[in-house]
Structure 1
Amino acid sequence: MTAWTLGVREAGVARPLADDDGRVRVGSRGFDAGDGELWIDVTAGPEGLELDHLVLEVPADVREGDLAWLNGYQSWSQSEVRPLATCRKRLNRLGRLWKLEQMGDHGIAPDQRDHDAECSHEVLAVQRGEAAHLWGSRIGTEAFAVLEVHGEWLRVVVDVAGWRIEPGETARVAWLEARAGRSAPVLLRDWAGRSWTPRPAPPVTGWTSWYRYYGDIDADSLLGEIDALSASEIRFDVFQIDDGFQTHVGDWLDFAPGFPDGVAPLAEAAKDRGMLPGLWLAPFVAAGNSDLLREHPDWVLRDASGKRVPAGWNGGWKGTFYALDLFNDEVLAYLERVFAEATGEWGFGLLKLDFLYAAALDGRPGMTRAQRMRRAMELLRSWAGDAAILGCGVPLVSAAGLVEYCRIGADVAAKWEDHAQRRMHYRERISTVSSMRSTIARAWMDGTWFGNDPDVVILRTTDTRLSDAERRTLHAVNTTLGSLVFVSDDISTYDPETTALLATWDPPGAARIVAHTRSGMIDRMQTDQGPFVLELGDRTGRVLERE
């Protein structure tokens, strides 16, 4: 039998509503039996109502050891297909000192969450033999939901804090769905398909500057890359400039010394060679050393005590970076101008928009975190116009139906794993193996919410610690399951075998996983294109079978 606790905030004090409070209506159709829906509607009186917290406890046929699809909070957050455990490990003290918790889910309903519990964001699916079960929220753009596993019960924490219901209005503050079937991947894809209509997103290949140069880029080097790509016989649909063209993060209209003529000539050169030009921006944040923050200190998001809200720490940006106040009209006017320049005068047809989770940091009376995040994504969509958006570092449910493509895993690297950050239990760490695990766990999002971006393939044999088997594994996962697949190498250094391997990404397009089992570290997947079998260990990995 489902139980619930709903709290409201009155005169600055949180208090629970009684089960028989006439303002609350609970409905259900077959939910407790494992195949139906459950919802909670709240009607505000003449004074209106502000919600504080909501927790539901629902029966669920889950057991330790069931194969589970666990979805993380945002693009980089660790997502996995693995046996259910009894708990998960928290980010350690060192990670908190580095402000790494800002990128994760630590601020979502912190007073209601059991941060040691095994959990999944928005949806949880499990497979036990020939039986599969799914539980998911239908209102993720209104309130984020965290599904915690507690024995044979799910504790669903719905982040309703700040939700303002106007006088006389009724709001659906929880809407859960339970489904049963034979395949967890099929249940996930069906559930996602009922939620949103994706924007048209044709599968594409491309090149990005990030893993080739990181932030050390200049116009002459990028023009050389454009020449090399156009001279090859490999398909490249997109040429994307990443971080480094600007003086500081936030100062988007000021170009670094290596770009004396700006970036428009590069966009024109890419178009002349048949490639769609793309540009990286992190619109919701600014570096602590930026002119933007120095000249406009009032543009920074501040907490209830008036302190600036940090969005994280980045050594390449000289330390802490901060969230911008997206309810400040001057901030919005500035960002709208940046987008108009990027898509208009500069000529970019694809925008990679990064560190977007910053829009959901800290609270604002009258709106939940999810409502603020969705509003921010709708602003991006309106500013981008006809340009395609590649979202990154974003709560994925907030991006559904608004972006053409979205990153669905961590940044990869020229090594298999960052073991130091793994020991911190940092779920958003840069990690090739974590990225691939997320690509598999979130394959169901492709074509239902957006086109999946699994991050780049790294095939170079210099400046890398990836073995040949590991490079081929990354290539296999990303080209099998991604709709947007980029490379970030100097392709002129490839030997004929590597060139031939990269060329196999044409035609691009993601396979659909229809069945998935796991034995040890070996994932056995059946896709609509044939079998796909991998071993993804913590130390290395390999492809065992691929159609």
Structure 2
Amino acid sequence: MEFDAARAAFHGRGLTLGGIEPLIDGASPPVASRTVTEGQIAWRLAGAFGGARMTLGIAPGAHGLELTVTLAGLSPDHPVDSLGVRFLAVEGVERYLRNGYQSWDGSYFAAPGEPAADDNPARSPRLGFAFTALLPRDGAGAVVLGFTRHEHFQSRLRFSADPARFSLDVETLWDRVPHQGRLAAEPLLLFGHDEVEGGLRDWSRAVAAASPLSPRRLERRLTGWCSWYNLYAAIDEPSILEHLAAAAAFRDRHQVPLDVFLIDDGFTPEMGDWLDVKPQFPRGMAPLVRDIAQAGFVPGLWIAPFMVGNRSRLFREHPDWVVRERAGGEPLAHMKFYGEFRWHKRSEEYYPLDITHPDAEAYIRTVFRTWRSWGCGYFKTDFMLFGAEYGPDRAVWREEGLSRIAIWRRMAELIREEIGDALWLGCGCPLWASVGLVDAMRIGRDVGVSWRGDYSAESLLRDQVTRNHASGILWQADPDCVLLRDRFHELSDEQVRSLALFAGLAGGVLMTSDKLDELRPDRAELLAALLREPRLACEFPEMATHHRDGVIVQRSARPDGSSVTNLFNSRGKPAGRGATDLAPYASRLLAEPGDPLARLEP
């Protein structure tokens, strides 16, 4: 990409980003004058911002053009919610990548003006976070625009709904953090690339390089068993021990790495009461953790550290430990269950824990320290978005003057301090603020038991493809558990096989929830073959175009240089690639003769 000072616009790969305006609190402030040079656009502001100066700095960097937005000369008494720039004229875009900020809010390509698929504003094509890839109408490759620092503030993108006049806002959420008259948005990177996923991978590398904490890159992929997608919350000690025996027998019989045994949600009575245990576990959790370790597994436990149920003992005894609504002062209910469905707890409402309260912080430290002392070596922290969802316009925390990400990082950093080098999977978690803290990251919603719907296989395919670029660079991606059992789901044989291959060849976390002594022989061999695969380097060379016919091309390379290609027809009608015909939902592995996966072909 190049900056044309005469037109005050960026050009490259058939795209133009022009009509550049300053942006404060989501709107363009009045401008008294503008000056453009090769390395900067400067605006002298007017009106309520009179006397302030806003600049967009433009400089060549190692990965592309480095853009810096600063605001100077503002009264320290003037609070700021956000600052950035608006590109009023974005020309030549066929599709763009809309990425959410946490595990579950989705990542997908949309066309300018494309309507939303549902009513959930968090998944709207108008709203994105951290970065985007702009695909040109004419030509190949992409233009990538993304923020490279994520440990202080959240950064947001807004895409216009008018396809005839496509515009883009990029802004850092300052969250009214006190300032001394000078503010700076998080740094931006702008560059073109011949390959869409290659460009996104370069952005991930830039984020890794800019992070104050080096990403935690595991030597091998995480594998294991998780209780959730088979037992859900209906767990007790006998059922856990039964599945433990089955998992150990499967591991030993097939001689495969199956490292983690995770007890997911269901052993605590209410969210927030993390040191209390349901009567279904009469010995408590410490002896069960020891049993898991003695069976040769890394013991894992599930926790949602930011969640507090209204019927929890924690809330009853410490109502001042939860975040409050700025309007009215009531506890801020992020989730509500007022009807027949009550999840598997008694609580009707769930509030964020106020980690800025010293006593709340001390409590949650004690929880993680205690679990670690039991021997827990794998922590799945869920619903982590509770701590990063709200700014000061909505929420009141005990300690004011912090950004939502600074608050979130306070929790995340103390978790890593308390668990030491234990393994940590973030779920429902901010994707980029967690770099250097978590080992693995859920990259989509719960996989569910059907092909379509809110919790479905279809959403996994979309999110894994578009977030794969960060796996192995920022953290290890978790596509969620593979499902191989014969019953209690709505998937066909082809769908089960294809989903397992897709998740297994992604090269990141590979876990299942099935009772492993009940799998039919071909499914057991499929799982065993995938577990034997090392940490793979996976790529999706057609990620920008597979929406046309639904065929996903997945290439996975091993450390020894060998590779396998998976052709996956993700739709309910026949398709193909070259000479390869694919039935609905079918996968075809292309591997060299003698490849260990070649025998999986029917």
**TM range, smaller chain:** 0.7 to 0.9
Q: What is the rounded CA distance, in whole Å, between the counterparts of 1:240 and 1:211 in structure 2?
A: 12
1:531 to 565, 571, 594: 565
* Corresponding residue for residue 287 of structure 1: 309
Cα distance change on mapping 1:399 and 1:538 into 2, 3 Å? farther
How far is the alpha carbon of 1:361 from its aligned partner? 3.1
Q: What is the rounded CA distance, in whole Å, between the counterparts of 1:88 and 1:292 in structure 2?
A: 43
Which ranges of structure 1 fall in alignment gaps of 5 or more residues?
96-100, 106-114, 419-428
After TM superposition, the structure 1 = structure 2 runs for residues 2-401 of structure 1, keeping only pairs within 5 Å, are 3-7=20-24, 19-20=43-44, 21-29=51-59, 35-43=64-72, 47=76, 50-58=79-87, 63=92, 65-66=94-95, 68-80=96-108, 82=109, 84-89=111-116, 92=119, 104=122, 118-128=126-136, 129-150=139-160, 151=163, 154-167=167-180, 170-196=182-208, 197-201=214-218, 202-232=220-250, 233=254, 234-304=256-326, 305-313=328-336, 315-316=342-343, 317-318=345-346, 319-344=348-373, 346-364=374-392, 365-401=400-436
Q: Matched residue of 2:537: which SS? A: coil
Identity of aligned residues (%): 29
1:226-278 CA deviation, whole Å, 9 max, x = no partner?
11111122431100000111111111111101111111122212211221111
**How many pairs does the alignment contain?**
508
How far is the alpha carbon of 1:190 from its aligned partner? 1.1
How far is the alpha carbon of 1:384 from its aligned partner? 2.2
How far is the alpha carbon of 1:153 from its aligned partner? 5.1
Q: Matched residue of 2:364: which SS? A: helix
Q: What is the rounded CA distance, in whole Å, between the counterparts of 2:278 and 2:572 in structure 1?
A: 39
How far is the alpha carbon of 1:17 from its aligned partner? 7.8
How far is the alpha carbon of 1:219 from its aligned partner? 1.1
How far is the alpha carbon of 1:507 from its aligned partner? 2.6
How far is the alpha carbon of 1:55 from its aligned partner? 4.3
Q: What is the rounded CA distance, in whole Å, between the counterparts of 1:23 and 1:65 in structure 2?
A: 35
Deviates more, 1:210-219 or 1:528-537: 528-537
- Contact 1:7/1:17 (CA < 8 Å) preserved in 2? no
* Corresponding residue for residue 537 of structure 2: 511
- Contact 1:286/1:292 (CA < 8 Å) preserved in 2? yes
Q: What is the rounded CA distance, in whole Å, between the counterparts of 2:158 and 2:455 in structure 1?
A: 25
How far is the alpha carbon of 1:51 from its aligned partner? 1.7
1:194-219 CA deviation, whole Å, 9 max, x = no partner?
11231132312100000111001111
- Greater RCO, 1 or 2 (C-alpha within 8 Å, sep 6+): 1
Q: What is the rounded CA distance, in whole Å, between the counterparts of 2:222 and 2:180 in structure 1?
A: 48
- Contact 2:540/2:553 (CA < 8 Å) preserved in 1? no
Q: What is the rounded CA distance, in whole Å, between the counterparts of 1:465 and 1:118 in structure 2?
A: 32
Q: What is the rounded CA distance, in whole Å, between the counterparts of 2:106 and 2:552 in structure 1?
A: 17
Cα distance change on mapping 1:127 and 1:7 into 2, 3 Å? closer
* Corresponding residue for residue 425 of structure 1: none
How far is the alpha carbon of 1:30 from its aligned partner? 6.1
Cα distance change on mapping 1:144 and 1:90 into 2, 3 Å? farther
Q: What is the rounded CA distance, in whole Å, between the counterparts of 2:389 and 2:30 in structure 1?
A: 25
Which ranges of structure 2 fall in alignment gaps of 5 or more residues?
1-7, 9-18, 33-42, 45-50, 209-213, 393-399, 558-562, 574-583, 592-602
- Contact 1:204/1:508 (CA < 8 Å) preserved in 2? no
TM-score, normalising length: structure 1: 0.85
TM-score, normalising length: structure 2: 0.78
In structure 2, give the amino acid aligned to 1:176: L
How far is the alpha carbon of 1:62 from its aligned partner? 5.8
- Contact 1:390/1:404 (CA < 8 Å) preserved in 2? yes
How far is the alpha carbon of 1:160 from its aligned partner? 2.3
Pairing 1:414–2:449 present: yes
Cα distance change on mapping 1:62 and 1:509 into 2, 3 Å? farther
In structure 2, give the amino acid aligned to 1:483: G
* Corresponding residue for residue 426 of structure 1: none
Q: Matched residue of 1:378: which SS? A: helix
Q: What is the rounded CA distance, in whole Å, between the counterparts of 1:270 and 1:303 in structure 2?
A: 42
Q: Matched residue of 1:376: which SS? A: helix
Pairing 1:405–2:470 present: no
In structure 2, give the amino acid aligned to 1:131: G
- Contact 1:52/1:162 (CA < 8 Å) preserved in 2? yes
